Amino acid sequence: MSDTEDVLSTAALWRAAGEQVAVATVTETWGSSPRPAGSQMAVTKSGKMAGSVSGGCIEGAVADAAMKTIETGTPQLLDFGVSHERAWEVGLACGGKVKVFVERLN
C-alpha cells in the first residue's frame, strides 16, 4: 500500500468513526521541495494528523487551513514559496515552491 493510500484509508476510518476530516494534497512543486506532488496529509477537527505534505516545514500552516476548511466546507489552494512572506514564517526558505489543495471529506 502506498503512503497516499495509507493517508486516505486513515482519513476514511476517521470519517467512519464520526470525525470531521480534511485532506491536503500537494498539487505542484518547483525547485527544492521536501515532498513530491501527490503527497497527502489528513487532519481531523479533534487534531489528529496522518501523512505529510512537506516534511514538517509548512504543515502547521496547512493544518490551520484544514481546520478552516472543516469549519466552512470551502476548499483552499495554498501557495507557499520563498516570494511569499509566510515562507520564512513557516520554514520554507529552501528555495522551492509548493501548492497544496485542501478539501473537506463529506
Reported as a single tens digit per residue, the pLDDT across 24-70 is 999 998 877 778 899 999 999 999 999 999 866 688 999 999 999 99
Instruction: Spell 11-43 as b/e; 16+ CB within 10 A means b.
Output: beebbeeebbbbbbbbeebeeebbbeeebbbbb
pTM: 0.84
Reported as a single tens digit per residue, the pLDDT across 62-85 is 999 999 999 999 999 999 875 555
